[in-house]
Amino acid sequence: MILELHPDIRIERLAIGREQAPLLVIDNFVAEPERLVSRAAKTQFGPGGRFYPGIRAKAPPSYEHFLATRLRPLLAEHFGMVCESLRLSMCHYSLVTTPPAELSLPQRLPHVDSFAPEGVATIHYLFKQNLGGTAFYRHRATGYEYLDESRRPAYSQALEAECGGLDRPAAEYINGDTAIFEQVARAESVFNRMLVYRRNSLHSGSIDRSFVPNPDPRTGRLSINSFIDPE
């Protein structure tokens, strides 16, 4: 599969929250995105792991190569990731398939993908239905919008106490402000939109109570999620 940038690609850089973390919103990312959906429909998905509320499958190697080459100048400009090459430690098709009532406690909370300061995550939306985008959060008790190793102990201690009390999250996807977290930014899902953000930013999918899980890549909440590091 040969991938090209969309001729009408549009890039917007945002600085979100009090801590002004960078967020890239790239619309019209690839030409012919429907080909990625068709490939997903022919791919075998499996369990997404302990924390992801759904199923996953490896994205095409050509997509991984496409990201590693085409995103490098953008990551250098907007994230200071100046390097000879990029390494993708994850590049997966992802389908959210867990009903809200069956979510584990960690799946009801914003999360970070890494405590390391370097490295970014991308999410590439490949669905046209109104199934929710991605939101970013501030932990009210600590004021943290990102986590690193120095912040980890205080955050973990506070969150454990909060989740053991009256503010314990209900069995549903977080989708806006709660007693524990304040939403600081939200990017809506648009077909063929990609978000790029630091992996240590607190974030979560924005999925409302009416969400009905659908394991069909052609009609479900399909995305490609990647972790990218400098080499």
- Name the band, by pLDDT with cuts 50, 70 and 90, for residue 84: confident
Average pLDDT of the segment spanning 204-211? 93
Domain ranges of the chain: 10-230
Write down the architecture of domain 10-230 according to CATH. Sandwich (2.60)
pLDDT band at 41 (very low <50, low <70, confident <90, very high): very high
> Tokens standing for 144?
């943290």
Task: Tell me the mean pLDDT in the region 23-51.
Answer: 96
By mean pLDDT, which of 7-11, 16-20, 81-85, 121-125 is the weakest? 81-85
Q: pLDDT digit string (tens) for 87-138? A: 999 999 999 999 999 999 999 999 999 999 889 999 999 999 999 999 999 9
Mean per-residue pLDDT, 17-23? 97
The kind and range of the H/E element at 79 are helix 72-79
DSSP 3-state of 70:
helix
Can you tell me the distance from the alpha carbon of 105 to that of 110, in angstroms, rounded to the nearest whole number? 10
What is the rounded average pLDDT of the residues 54-73? 96
